[in-house]
Structure 1
């Protein structure tokens, strides 16, 4: 897969985002994103699709660890012990965005999160390219961990595609 195909707005990413929106529409479920290393690219990939406004509630770019803790309610002890790049952080971010985007008593029904290290260096010794994505639904929370190759742009694009792929799988 070329960088263009996997980049937000690329053919593969757009096709997966379209499929995600079809599955959300079939269930009449809303969605929100909580992003760290992708910095809004995941939300952008979703809202590029015409009609996404029916299902997309919004997103939070929690690039700073303090935002993960204060806005998304990621456990402070987890962050202290493992740092921001951990599967359980992704899990809590995905669940947290559902609460953050609640309208009245109704949470967003799907939360997708990304956290990882896009490089060029790693602040905590984990390999550059380490990415954790999660999807939270009323049924369960799923997490997938990856180590992607490439430069910063390629890693971020692969993280977006991995998050969309996981969401599509969870809504099968």
Structure 2
């Protein structure tokens, strides 16, 4: 990575040859250790920030990011999966279809007093949790010794809300 500094090599290069010695080099390296730890934490921060900056709401990238971020909490491995919702029923009639009216199954005719062009795509008993949202996030069971379920859900919702599109809705479901 571009921000990593090799402090051991730097100290060896900066100490004059006539002052060198194994004990002096080790002593200077010990003095520089706090700077080395600060550099390591900055390199980790830069790496995470670069990944976050490259994130989009594309499903394949978003799944990878969520699994990378939350895999330490999963029991028996597992993966977070984002699935599109399934709409029940079948579209029966579209205005732009070039089908003769006699061949098309219309939900209503113009002589009826209902709202024009209202489609009934499903019955109310066919409505499910998955069909009422844009997508759902299936997550494996978590280790409650590491994190509580409410904290995990709050963290997961925060990350999803950060990257999802504004008009999309979702639910989180645990896989069995």
Q: Tell me: higher relative CO, structure 1 or 2? Use CA pairs within 8 A at least 6 residues apart.
A: 1
Smaller-chain TM-score range?
under 0.3
Is the strand fraction higher in 1 or 2? Answer: 1
Instruction: Indicate the structure (1 or 2) with the bigger Cα radius of gyration.
Output: 2
Provide the TM-score with structure 1 as the length reference.
Answer: 0.23
Provide the TM-score with structure 2 as the length reference.
Answer: 0.23
